[in-house]
Amino acid sequence: MRLIDLSVTIEQDAVSELFPPKIDVREHDGAGLEIFKDAFGVRPEDLVYSAGLGPRDEIFTFMSHTGTHVDAPLHYGPRSADGTPAASIDELPLEWFHSDGVVLDLRHKRPGEFIEITDLERALAAVEYELKPLDIVLLHTGTDRKLRSADYFEQPGMSRESTLWLVQEHGIKVIGIDAFGFDRPFRAMREDYQRTGDGRFIWPAHFAGIEAPYCQIEKLANLDALPRPHGFKVSCFPVKVKRASAGFARVVAFVDDE
């Protein structure tokens, strides 16, 4: 069995983040050493096992939607359409996050375009796959190739209709995309809204999760490393943060050798 990493790295001041992370590194011979000196009253020369050094750690300042992460229904709104409180990332069933994966090739879609139901149907037909409940659907747009540039924010995005088609008609609970976001770029949504005055252009795929709760994996990578479009498992367990709208995830594909 091969393990294929489908995640991006969280990096200091990453240009691919809307709110670039800050990482304060506390080095072995700096703040880490001071922690041990304060905690134990020890002198550096007495730290014989570590040659006078303390531990290293890092203090992070970034949002819960940094790097590869899973969005919870709480991200889309405080309540679902049926009036129940929207689930936070710590409240979701683990069964959603380890299941059969299928990757759909949507690399022909251009930045700013909608990924429509017909696009999904054609991609499924091309790989001769029929969706079943709890499959983890991975949308391959190729946007991850632009990860470390400002162009990373230019991508196609799901429509409300295509999202509900997956969730309501096929029982899908987790949908991933190898791009910054699940919807089209903010630029494209803003342009269409200002042109028409129609608020339905704003975040239609995200807000579909109010009607039919589901999770998104955003900022996937390396989908082109998968040797086949289905016949593998995906694990995408999010970090358990109480009442959070998202959780960081190390998304991995488990591929059996043929």
The per-residue pLDDT for range 192-240, each reduced to its tens digit, is 999 999 999 999 999 999 999 999 999 999 999 999 999 999 999 999 9
Is it the case that residue 81 has pLDDT exceeding 80?
yes
Asked if pLDDT for residue 69 goes beyond 90, the answer is yes
Residue 12: its pLDDT value, please? 96
Asked if residue 185 and residue 91 are part of one domain, the reply reads yes
pLDDT at 3: 98
Q: Share the mean pLDDT of the chain.
A: 97
Do 130 and 30 fall into the same domain? no
- Domain that includes residue 94, residue range: 64-255
221, 189: one domain = yes
Do residues 88 and 124 make contact, with C-beta atoms less than 8 angstroms apart?
A: no
**243/64 Cα distance (integer angstroms):** 11
Q: Are residues 173 and 150 located together in one domain of the fold?
A: yes
Question: Does residue 258 carry a pLDDT above 80?
Answer: no
Task: Please check whether residues 29 and 152 belong to one and the same domain.
Answer: no
Model confidence, pTM:
0.95
Number of domains making up the chain:
2
How confident is residue 65, by pLDDT bands cut at 50, 70 and 90? very high
**Mean pLDDT, range 115-131, rounded to an integer:** 98
| Per-residue model confidence (pLDDT) at position 33 | 97
Identify whether 97 is part of a domain: yes
Asked if 4 and 223 touch (Cβ cutoff 8 Å), the reply is no
Averaged pLDDT, 119-133: 98
C-alpha 173, offset from chain centre: 14
Please compute the mean of the pLDDT values over residues 145-165 and round it to a whole number. 97
pLDDT of residue 95: 98
The model's confidence at residue 163, banded by pLDDT at 50, 70 and 90, is very high
The answer to whether residue 158 sits within a structural domain is: yes
- Asked if residue 129 belongs to a domain, the reply is yes
- pLDDT score, position 17: 95
Are residues 136 and 248 located together in one domain of the fold? yes
> Strands 22-26 and 57-61: what pairing?
antiparallel
Average pLDDT over residues 105-109: 98
Residue 51 and residue 69 in one domain: no
pLDDT of amino acid 257: 81
Co-location of 121 and 201 in the same domain: yes
Mean pLDDT of 89-107: 98
